[in-house]
Amino acid sequence: RILIIGACGQIGTELTSKLREIHGVENVIASDINTRKLDLVNSGPFEIIDAKNFNAIKDCCINYNIDTVYLMAALLSATGEKYPMEAWDLNMNSLFHVLNLAKGGTIKKVYWPSSIAVFGPTTPRDNTPQHTICEPTTVYGITKQVGERWCEYYYKKYGVDVRSIRYPGIISHKAMPGGGTTDYAVEIYHEAIKTGNYNCFLSENTSLPMMFMDDAIKATVDLMEAPADNLTIRSSYNLSAISFTPKEIFESIKRHIPDFKITYSPDFRQAIADSWPSSIDDSIARNDWNWQHSFDLDAMTEVMLKELNKRYAND
């Protein structure tokens, strides 16, 4: 059975439904620190678990005979800058708990998300390679960089089968992101439909690596199902799909909503975005487990506007 920690989050929500589709609802236990997504809570086995509580995770793994844990709980880049010690505590201790359960044999396999936030202002910005300088300037990026080191250590020293992806910004319509720097790329679709105006907290030419949620979920499942012998990276895989600027996503939306207007008021998140790469080289992921993205910017815009229009029409 599978346990998803942080199942109510932006990625956790969709990962839970995809894994339940593949493995059966009863074989995928969703958990989070609270029951904020009631549809998810009521759609299958759900447990309230604080990801910082080792015994809570261990008891759940034993009670449900869990063999695989997806650890999706974390404080992201913007929130991490407001609450640095809380971000370190949650992001690191939750990872140690799950890695130690695997080391002790309670569980067999671990998925843990990293991020392009491991890169910093000294990293080559264009087509950033898998192996390069990582001097992150955010607490979130530091936790992801150190987390990657621990994942590789537990794999090499204890044979723990932990797998990881450096997610770019992820855009989805089913659950809102929380506390990220790339969240503008989700907010902009909602505002295009709700008000026709969006005041963007990043400047218009800020290019960032991004990905539609369906591609991120496919990559996660494909990596976890890949034969262990094919995997040459046990820190975390570079992964990319598209890169775009606020201006480019605005123009993509404007082709559907001609009167849509945008203004730019960069805030503290501009410095975070400026420290990250503008595009990523994911050739090793493509080579090791046949990664291939499906959605380009316009295809993503089409799905996002179609699904959000349906949602707001029913509200």
Q: Of the two residues 277 and 301, which places its CB atom closer to ligand VAH in the complex? A: 277
Buried b (16+ CB within 10 A) or exposed e, 27-49: bbbbbbbeeebeebbeebbbbeb
The dihedral sign for the CA sequence 292, 294, 300, 303 = negative
Binder among 6, 120, 180, 277 for ligand VAH (CB under 6 A): 180
Is 172 among the residues that bind ligand VAH (CB under 6 A)? no
Q: Of the two residues 74 and 101, which places its CB atom closer to ligand VAH in the complex? A: 74
- Ranges assigned E (strand) in the chain: 2-5, 28-32, 46-48, 68-71, 109-111, 114-115, 161-163, 165-167, 169-171, 197-200, 208-212, 237-238, 242-244, 261-264
Give the total of residues touching ligand VAH (CB under 6 A): 13
Stretch that binds ligand VAH, among 123-131, 152-160, 180-188, 306-314 (CB under 6 A): 180-188
264 assigned to active site: no
| Residue 117 beta carbon to ligand VAH: minimum distance, rounded to whole angstroms | 5
SS3 238: strand
Main-chain phi, psi angles of 69, to 5 degrees: -120, 130
The dihedral sign for the CA sequence 260, 265, 268, 272 = positive
Single-letter residue type at 217? I
- Choose among 161, 63, 61, 60: nearest CA to 108: 161
Binder among 4, 28, 95, 116 for ligand VAH (CB under 6 A): 116
Residue with tokens 């890949």: 226
Residue 9 CA to residue 78 CA, distance in Å, equals 15
| Residue 139 beta carbon to ligand VAH: minimum distance, rounded to whole angstroms | 11
| Residue 302 beta carbon to ligand VAH: minimum distance, rounded to whole angstroms | 22
Binder among 75, 117, 142, 223 for ligand VAH (CB under 6 A): 117
| Residue 66 beta carbon to ligand VAH: minimum distance, rounded to whole angstroms | 26
Of 64, 70, 111, 140, which residue is the catalytic one?
140
Is 181 among the residues that bind ligand VAH (CB under 6 A)? yes
Residue 153 CA to residue 69 CA, distance in Å, equals 18
Interface pattern 148-167 for ligand VAH (x via CB under 6 A): -------------------x
Is 16 among the residues that bind ligand VAH (CB under 6 A)? no
Is 182 among the residues that bind ligand VAH (CB under 6 A)? yes
Q: Which residues are catalytic?
A: 140
Residues that bind ligand VAH (CB under 6 A): 76-77, 115-117, 140, 167-169, 177, 180-182
